[in-house]
Amino acid sequence: MAKIQMKTPLVEMDGDEMTRIIWQGIKDKLLTPFIDLKCEYYALGLPNRDATDDQVTVDAANAIKKYGVGVKCATITPNAQRVEEYKLKEMWKSPNGTIRAILDGTVFRAPVIVKGITPSVSTWKKPITIARHAYGDIYKNSELYVDGAAKAELLVTYADGRQDKKLIHDFRSAGVVMGMHNTDASISSFARSCFNYALSVKQDLWFSTKDTISKIYDHRFKDLFAEIYENEFKDQFEAAGIEFFYTLIDDAVARVIRSEGGFIWACKNYDGDVMSDMVATAFGSLAMMTSVLVSPDGLYEYEAAHGTVTRHYYKHLKGEATSTNSVATIFAWSGALRKRAELDGLEDLAAFADRLEKATVQTIEEGVMTGDLMNLSTLPEKHKVGTMEFLDEVAKRLS
């Protein structure tokens, strides 16, 4: 059988530890037998980041800017212990942080749903994707402990010397005070990323804040989303048959729990942090959670939501058998290939991405799974397989 051909290269970012081993396994067993893979390869594993003074991470992000789509393996974010372990020149920054700073995007996380692993919320039938704004609010705050009677004020001094002042609180005794911010530019980028992503997956977009209480701050989010929607996306949404709607966060929570799933929920930074953990846990497992970074100008970077699974890697190094779940990493590849196919008009490549996902889900639904899923799955007959054995089982169903 002739292999599927690609047009534009996919930006491939290799990584570390157990996921690096899975990465190679996926390429060898699930991709290269079927596709003439055209990738521009960047070794983002920690040793090469160190050797290149982290230039390789910057180069990879710029390559995504050039080609439009990337796929990334999990990577180590070094801490003091890793500096020691890998004899690093420096404690390099998180590659995801570096890439996000260059592409300026929003991260969308969605679970892979399989029969036998039922969400804790019985009505959920389809994945719920959380889009978390990843800039500002309490994550970039300034806060103070007020240790006695004091007047706390909010003061803004403009470049031209003008000032705006507001009383926060007249403290009679000790307490706490906090200032935080966001920018129109960042909120607008977030909105555009969400609208673009909703169009690309053809799902409704929900957005929620607490604008009834925060009449200026949260209201600014609501207004910018509404304005950008009206001016830039409304026609495209209508043509795609999808909906954008805004609702109060309390109402959104209630609706999400009663829903069937199958939509994108855009959240402010803190809401997204909390709600994505809630949604991920309710759907089952971090190993089944995919993640995609979408930039406001429509660049895509796919990856798994989990890390490099260090504990399993150390077992692997000792020659012990491992049973590490590769589903999220497989779906990172299928997502990236499908996007590449869409941009280049390659129907056979898009069909392959669908087949790869189907074969993966089918494997688990037929009771063949890695150790982490054994306790979660309610299938009556199931058996545990090793890391590479799982990939072989998927390959069998793929061909």
Contact residues for Mg ion (CB under 5 A)? Answer: 273, 277
Contact 127, 117 (CB under 8 A): no
Smallest distance, ligand NAP to C-beta of residue 76, A: 4
Residue for token digits 């996007």? 339
Stretch that binds ligand NAP, among 1-9, 74-82, 118-126, 147-155 (CB under 6 A): 74-82
Verify binding: residue 104, ligand NAP, rule CB under 6 A. no
Select the residue interacting with ligand NAP from 25, 54, 96, 193 (CB under 6 A): 96
Select the residue interacting with ligand NAP from 62, 77, 236, 362 (CB under 6 A): 77
Q: Quick one: which H or E segment has residue 204?
A: strand 204-209
Smallest distance, ligand NAP to C-beta of residue 96, A: 5
Which of Mg ion, ligand NAP, none binds 287 (CB below 5-8 Å, type-dependent)?
Answer: ligand NAP
How far apart are the C-alpha atoms of 370 and 260, rounded to whole Å? 27
Pick 273 or 366: Cβ nearer Mg ion: 273
Smallest distance, ligand NAP to C-beta of residue 82, A: 6
Smallest distance, Mg ion to C-beta of residue 138, A: 13
Verify binding: residue 387, ligand NAP, rule CB under 6 A. no
389-396 contacts, C-beta under 8 A, 24 or more apart: 390/323, 390/325, 390/326, 390/363, 391/22, 391/25, 391/26, 391/29, 391/30, 391/326, 392/29, 393/363, 393/368, 394/29, 394/30, 394/330, 394/356, 394/359, 394/360, 394/363, 395/29, 395/30, 395/33, 395/359
**Phi and psi at residue 378, in whole multiples of 5°?**
-95, 10
Residues 39-58 that bind ligand NAP (CB under 6 A): none
**Phi and psi at residue 153, in whole multiples of 5°?**
-130, 155
Tokens found for residue 121? 């919320």
Q: Which residues contact 174 (CB under 8 A, 6 or more apart)?
A: 145, 146, 147, 148
Q: 265 pairs with which residues across the strands? A: 130, 206
Smallest distance, ligand NAP to C-beta of residue 210, A: 29
How far apart are the C-alpha atoms of 132 and 275, rounded to whole Å? 9
Residues 259-298 that bind ligand NAP (CB under 6 A): 286-287
Verify binding: residue 74, ligand NAP, rule CB under 6 A. yes
Pick 44 or 379: Cβ nearer ligand NAP: 44
Stretch that binds ligand NAP, among 121-129, 143-151, 305-313, 344-352 (CB under 6 A): 305-313
Verify binding: residue 372, ligand NAP, rule CB under 6 A. yes
Pick 96 or 106: Cβ nearer ligand NAP: 96
Verify binding: residue 308, ligand NAP, rule CB under 6 A. yes
Smallest distance, Mg ion to C-beta of residue 160, A: 40
Verify binding: residue 306, ligand NAP, rule CB under 6 A. yes
Stretch that binds ligand NAP, among 27-35, 207-215, 216-224, 309-317 (CB under 6 A): 309-317
Which of ligand NAP, Mg ion, none binds 277 (CB below 5-8 Å, type-dependent)?
Answer: Mg ion
How far apart are the C-alpha atoms of 369 and 19, rounded to whole Å? 17
Q: CB 337: neighbour CB atoms within 10 A?
A: 26
Pick 71 or 349: Cβ nearer ligand NAP: 71
Query: Pseudo-torsion of CA 56, 61, 66, 68, nearest 10°?
Result: 130
Q: 132 pairs with which residues across the strands? A: 107, 267
Contact 305, 286 (CB under 8 A): yes
Smallest distance, Mg ion to C-beta of residue 304, A: 16
Verify binding: residue 307, ligand NAP, rule CB under 6 A. yes
Smallest distance, ligand NAP to C-beta of residue 30, A: 16
Select the residue interacting with ligand NAP from 57, 75, 196, 360 (CB under 6 A): 75
Sequence length of the chain is 399
Closest by CA to 92, choosing from 55, 135, 136, is 55
Note the residues at the interface with ligand NAP (CB under 6 A). 74-77, 96, 286-287, 303, 306-311, 324-325, 372
